[in-house]
Amino acid sequence: MADENDYAHWQDVTTRWNDNDQYGHLNNVVHHSIMDTVVNRWLIETGCLDPHGGDTAGLVKQVHCEYVAQAGFPDVVSVGLRVGELGNTSVRFEVGMYRSDGELFFTGHFVHAFVDRASEETVPIEGERRAKLEGLQLS
C-alpha cells in the first residue's frame, strides 16, 4: 500500500483506453510516459522549467524501471515523486506508481540534466530551482 511518507509529491494520472496492450494491461511505454509527464508537470508548475521560452532545457540522460505488478485501463494511477540525488547539473527523480487499490505496480527513476538551450552544455542547478528540487528530497 502507498505510504504518503515515501514520496514528497503526489499526482494522480488517469489511464486511457488506448494505454492497454493486447494482454489487457498498460503497455510498458505508458509507464515511461506517465513518469515523464509527472516530473515535467512538477517542474513547469513550480517554475523550475519553462519549456517554451526558458534559457535552459531538461534532457533525460538515464532511465531505469521495475515492473512489479500489472495495471490497466480504467484506473487512476497515484504517482509518488521524490528526488533521490541532486548533483551540480543533474537530478535523479524517483517515482512509485500505485493502482486505485493501493498496490504498487511500478518503480523507476530517471536522471535529468539541465542544459543551456542554445549550446546544450550542462548548466549548474542553482538558486530557486535548486531550493525547489531540495524540497523533493526526503530526509
Q: Note down pLDDT in tens along the chain; length 139 residues.
A: 667 789 999 999 999 999 999 999 999 999 999 999 999 999 999 999 999 999 999 999 999 999 999 999 999 999 999 999 999 999 999 999 999 999 999 999 999 999 999 999 999 999 999 999 999 999 7
pLDDT of 2: 66
Q: Under CATH, which architecture does the 4-134 domain have?
A: Roll (3.10)
Ramachandran bin of 2, using left for φ above 0, alpha for ψ from -120 to 50, beta for the remaining angles: beta
Between strands 9-14 and 90-98, the pairing is unpaired
pLDDT of 71: 95
Nearest Cα to 79, choosing from 46, 48, 109? 109
pLDDT of 139: 78
Residue with cell 524540497: 135
φ/ψ of residue 85, rounded to 5: -140, 140
pLDDT of 80: 97
Nearest Cα to 91, choosing from 51, 54, 49, 28? 49
